[in-house]
Chains A and B, each alone.
Chain A
Amino acid sequence: MLKDAVETKTTYEIIKDSAVEAGLTQLTPERIQTVILETLESETGPRLKAYVNMCVHCGLCSEACSYYLSNNKEPRFAPVAKVKNTIGEMIRKKGRVDNDFLRQAVQIAYTECNLCKRCVMYCPFGIDVAYLMSIVRRICHKLGITPQYIQDTAHSHAATMNQMWVKEDQWIDTLQWQEGDAREEIPDLRIPLDKNGADIMYSVIAPEPKFQASLIYQAAVIMNTAGVDWTMPSAPGWDNSDMAMYTGDSEIMGRVKRAHFEAAMRLKVNRIVMGECGHAFRSVYDVGNRWLSYKMPPVPVIHAIDFYYELISTGKIKIREKFKEPVTLHDPCNVIRGRGLMEKSRYVVNAICENLVEMTPNREHNFCCGAGGGVINCGPPYKTRRMINNKRKAEQIKETGTKVLISPCHNCHSGLEDICHHYELGMDVKFISDILYEVMEK
């Protein structure tokens, strides 16, 4: 049995967030109403109306949501309830909502929904609850009541074009540092910066140079061993992450994505390969591109899973000896439900590991990690509650009986580590590249 996560806090409460509180003091009822009505009028259309008016409150979406399942089926956590208690009320009251309502709306939209879209597959009408929650976040952003920690990352995007306040020289230094270290292992290894006309631009999220530089090392070894013609941009645009997408700051999202695409275009690469990150993929492949009026990304975007699949299946990377310990594999929403890479990720994991134990449910129906969609980025104030909300995920992982958990997504990775720690699962969370680097012929 799982250690009971609910022992510390059983009752539902609205968590105090200093940025939300500060934002609320600046608002007047008129301002709130104006922002809500203007956003609904100028940024939404018949889709939102249809979703909200058509929903027959059948409740079939409820069991899709791990929040609902983690909280003993408490109604407020069902997707339909989240819609009703946020955008539903805003529409019904024609924007005349008060601060208490907004506090609750912030908590629901930013911390009780990962925008994972699992419930979309459970609604007979295909109502996109993630879209509805995004509209709530958009309104909260415009009202200036975004949770503090995630807002800080959005500020970082705005000021530096990356998520972690990484300065340009730090970025280049980090790459050279990793190149230097890796050359002790592979003497002629390079991390080519700004190589014009390379086949691939490799992009990462800012937490990699900030505190997970070994991932860049591993990527460099994989690229060099496979003999890939690759490059990384030295100038802003190297970061593919995008928390502005999740705060509701579409304008900053657009700037960040433009910088990313333009970095690739400037370097005249054929395609962008990105590291094992889910939300960045969503942003580049599905959301940010649309804001910039690209139906599909202007430069082909390949997620790491897809890329490893290509390298292994074409024999560019050979496996020396498979990883022996049983592993389980988490299906991140943004690349599985968002890009259909479920069979490729299994191909890769089976190529590098001897024993893959599936989670149940899996593939498109996998439970969300509970961290993505910007939820983990809302930071420490919400962590205890997040752990309670992730109970179902913890059970699902534990049922596999494995000690190694592969998660090809950064947000999932961090969230799953929290879960493993909190529920004392004693599991090691790894990226595919952690194992691939270990078992490949170099």
Chain B
Amino acid sequence: MSSLNAQELFEILVRDHAEMLTLYLRSLIRDPGTVDDLFQETMLVAWRRLDDFDRNRSFGPWLRGIAGKLVLAHRRKYATSKAITCEEEVLQHLEGRMQQVQKQAGDTLPEKLAGLEYCLQALPEKYGKVVKLRYREELSIGSLAERLELTVETAKKRLQRGRARLLDCLKRRMATSVS
């Protein structure tokens, strides 16, 4: 049986971890273009340093470790960048969340996050509507406030509270439902 060469192996790893890396970067950066740039930069750094990777360990945390450093470096360089600046220890907390997701049942990221659908259904209607309009239909705050005949501030509050409830719900479900 012929063995995979380094690039073939790397391609498998990239495909397996692309969604998780994107989720990680989106948590730290608001600008989609910068997310894409850092996605590529992370993968390229990983490719160049593949020899340094301990193959007895999981690839995902290693990859996101690279990404975290690149995000912080990016934020240092570009003061106006829509990236969050935080202590490196806080990135460990985010990595903890990612590992919780990784442990969920399912092959793809949406499958691993299937619990979110339950949480959405359990959300009070006034929050659920705002969340769905914001994320499913991608309406701006102003547009969804207009659609629901709310003030912008009220719409923001509902979105904030809806998201907070979903976060609590998802954390609980992930803690109790591990593959």
Are A and B interaction partners?
Answer: no
